[in-house]
Structure 1
């Protein structure tokens, strides 16, 4: 069976999904695309052999679309996710599920009322080979009970309009999903702290920042986020256990020996680092849609859980860094 896919949003993320589907995912065909920028949509459509829909709603309703990918701006996720659920079409929505917690809750309720198994969230770290190996080692007890997790995530430069809050909902949110997934325990309380900000950002933007997560199993995790690090995209994670430690290693494949020095490069953004994860995620999603089976990706409920943690982090941000319990 060929799954006919419509992609809403043809910017960097949507265009990457289309290329991955065409090159690496058997049984997938991108048939329709849509974007608020018609010229961008037409350029992507011409390169992929797809048609251009007038808008996302028309794409969802199109009879030549079996399944939907929502890769448009965060502000559009709520309306498109609800429309896809109403249409009964399996949908992969990039994070976040919706801009507000109330909207996330409405989407989860609508999906449940429709019978479930329609929405998947694009938390691609669950398919990253390094993260899956890390989780397998934790689950196998290789280092004994986990005591602490230390993470650091750095980007080259922030997008225009970035705020301290959007750093949580757009960047840290990956850790808000991956940490409870790795540990098999939900986040129960959080705290947010920031010190001196880099001079390269506008006044009022807290960057770098530190997010603390305490999971229900008692493990404390620190997430050091710096979105204007300049030197490259860099992700680090160490898991400390009673008997030893586990850590993600540098994924660079080539070392340069030149002028009595050895060096490796950093990617400009997250996409090269998680290229395998995106391909594996899309392949697993398409296979589940073709088989009519439950999606192995993060669910709408997982997206809601991450958003609840994000709300608690932002509350701590606005209330002097105090510990805040995560609502259930």
Structure 2
């Protein structure tokens, strides 16, 4: 159980996202403290740990989880390292918040589901932070209320200023569109049944060999359609929008917020440069909710099933991206454990 000093958290991975979560836990979140960080880059972990009293740096995630004051784990390492860290945390009965993707594919996701079910209670929350964004929460509430009737279509746009070096076509689906996959499932309360990926003419701003932008069509189990424009190198900033077309109305979120300035014959505002800034409040709400629930002995956020379902949809998306055409999503029967 957490000490009177708060929930002791081990953060696995100290890159951009992990370092931001360390800052968040140390400076923003109440009821928690960072007691351990782990990264294969030892100096990066040591440098980050040195900014927090009582925090120890490790290169081995297992050693970090084994530290005496660790009550919970936040995983922000690359996706292909998530399975091992999750299985270790579940084996130690430690609550864990895992950044998406939970794991890179369905086979590894099913192994996580199996480990959690054998434990007998939920321990895993997956980091789909849009569920905590104020605009997405309002959209979810409006759709759930039935005021606008059934949702028939969901249009989504996901634009980045530019992608980091080494970013691939496949990562446009697994690292970017995975957010829209979860948002679609959550907003519409439906599983995704099929995926089609289309590739328009590539932007001249995209790296050689990358098909960017792409257009993804998602068909849900109840017949609604959701589309996603993923544009990794739009060149002007980070922009996420969603528009739900319902029987009795349309609702849209993600339009630019903040000051709108008119000066010198023009008007406009500012587009944030990346997801860390755009969803800062959502990340804060997500991690605070996770800490609060963990201190109560509960797991309340997106489950390991949600992580598996997203992986299955992305797997179908990769097949469509590679071979073309419509690809059906293959899901195992949902266990009552995740009912």
TM-score class normalised by the smaller sequence:
over 0.9
Which residue matches 2:24? Answer: 20
Match of 1:79 among 67, 80, 84: 84
1:69 equivalenced with 2:36 (yes/no): no
CA-based RMSD of the aligned residues comes to 1.2
1:157 equivalenced with 2:174 (yes/no): no
Structure 1: stretches of 5+ with no match in the other structure: none
In structure 2, distance between residues paired with 1:128 and 1:37: 32
Aligned ranges 1:1-328 → 2 under 5 Å: 1=4, 2-49=6-53, 50-293=55-298, 295-320=299-324, 322-328=325-331
Structure 2: stretches of 5+ with no match in the other structure: 332-339
The alpha-carbon deviation at position 251 of structure 1 amounts to: 4.5
The alpha-carbon deviation at position 24 of structure 1 amounts to: 2.4
SS for the counterpart of 2:51 is helix
Asked whether the equivalents of residues 255 and 263 of structure 1 are also in contact (C-alpha less than 8 Å), the reply is yes
SS for the counterpart of 2:114 is helix
| Stretches of 4+ aligned residues off by more than 4 angstroms | none
The alpha-carbon deviation at position 95 of structure 1 amounts to: 0.6
Deviation readout 1:191-211 (Å, 9 max, x if unpaired): 110010012333431110001
TM-score w.r.t. length of structure 1: 0.96
In structure 2, distance between residues paired with 1:74 and 1:296: 22
Q: Which moved more, 1:296-305 or 1:51-60?
A: 51-60
In structure 2, distance between residues paired with 1:123 and 1:175: 10
Asked whether the equivalents of residues 251 and 273 of structure 1 are also in contact (C-alpha less than 8 Å), the reply is no
Deviation readout 1:204-262 (Å, 9 max, x if unpaired): 31110001001112111110000111100011111011111000042521222321222
In structure 2, distance between residues paired with 1:110 and 1:59: 20
TM-score w.r.t. length of structure 2: 0.93
Q: Which moved more, 1:6-15 or 1:242-251?
A: 242-251
In structure 1, distance between residues paired with 2:90 and 2:126: 14
The alpha-carbon deviation at position 87 of structure 1 amounts to: 1.1
